[in-house]
Amino acid sequence: MRKLAPVLLALALAATACGSEAAPQEGGRTLTVFAAASLTESFGTLGKRFEAQNSGVTVKFSFEGSSALVQKLTQGAKADVFASADQANMDKAAKGEVLDGQPSVFATNRLAIAVGKGNPLGIKGLADLAQDGLTVVVCAPQVPCGSAAKKVQQSSGVTLKPASEEQDVKSVLAKVQSGDADAGLVYVTDATSAAAKVDKVDFPEAAGAINDYPIAVVKDAPQARLAGLFRDFVLGAEGKNELAKAGFGAP
């Protein structure tokens, strides 16, 4: 019996090892998501829920202007998921061959005017932003919110003379919040998320520049399986509900 003990122990250890290999865990993995700056609040919440539903998984976000994120991806930056604030930048990512599969649109967004609390200058619409002496900020043209701002100016005939063109929508919002700008063209969702610090002025011309928000798994994603799960999570009922709460439109 004593001679059999080491043999039985070895067999037990081997069986345990085989059992561990048969049931791999997601724990200890980091999912890297490149997402448009306007998704900061909603994706931040969805990321925490995704982590709660996938034990041991950490979601790491990089929130910037979509054009900057595409540039990073095409230059070799590693990420698992890319969510853009417009189709044009997602098309650039596809052309750069950095996507795995077809993107899916998960939300829409439109512009609004962010002004100081109480709207001290009484701004009522887009045309008011062309007044002399008004400090207005917008996004740069290559950024989705800047492209939308350009479209509404062209369609409305209103020409703005911005004091600055920012690289993402959060930078525009920050200048209004700090008082460095009297008004800024941001997304409805950004003005809504900052309701304690700014007021939102809707304007009808914004309907002519609705942005689609597509999401895709990145080619050669380090965590390809998790990337697919997160994409499906955003596209699913829980993702739709959170995005709708933030003010995003349905695709």
**Per-block mean pLDDT, blocks of 10 residues, the chain (251 long):** 44 40 53 98 98 97 97 97 98 98 97 98 97 96 96 96 96 97 98 96 96 98 98 98 96 93
pLDDT of residue 8: 41
Q: Given this model, what pLDDT does residue 23 score?
A: 30
**Residue 40, CA distances (Å) to 6, 63, 121 in order:** 57, 6, 29
Q: State the pTM of this model.
A: 0.86
The correct CATH number of 111-208 out of 3.90.1150.10, 3.40.50.1970, 3.40.190.10, 3.20.20.70 is: 3.40.190.10
Residue range(s) in the chain whose domain bears CATH number 3.40.190.10: 28-108+212-246, 111-208
Q: What is the pLDDT of residue 28?
A: 75
H helices present in the chain, as ranges: 4-22, 40-53, 66-74, 87-95, 144-156, 169-178, 188-193, 224-235, 237-246
pLDDT number for residue 64 = 97
Strand order from edge to edge, sheet including 111-116 = 164-166, 136-139, 183-187, 111-116, 198-201
- The vertex-129 CA angle with 126 and 130, nearest 5°, equals 110
**For residues 70 and 77, what is the distance between their CA atoms, to the nearest angstrom?**
9
Residue 39, Cβ density class (10 Å: 0-12 exposed, 13-18 middle, ≥19 buried): buried
Report the distance separating Cα 85 and Cα 59, nearest Å: 20
Cα-flanking dihedrals φ and ψ of residue 105, to 5°? -80, 130
The confidence score (pLDDT) of residue 99 equals 98
Give the pLDDT confidence score for residue 11 in this predicted structure.
40
Per-residue confidence (pLDDT) for residue 16, from 0 to 100 = 40
List Cβ neighbours of 76 (8 Å cut-off, separation of 6 or more).
none
Residue 243 and residue 108 in contact, taking contact as beta carbons nearer than 8 Å: no
Among 73, 99, 120, 54, which Cα is nearest to 215's? 99
Q: pLDDT at position 13, please?
A: 42
For 28-108+212-246, CATH gives 3.40.190.10
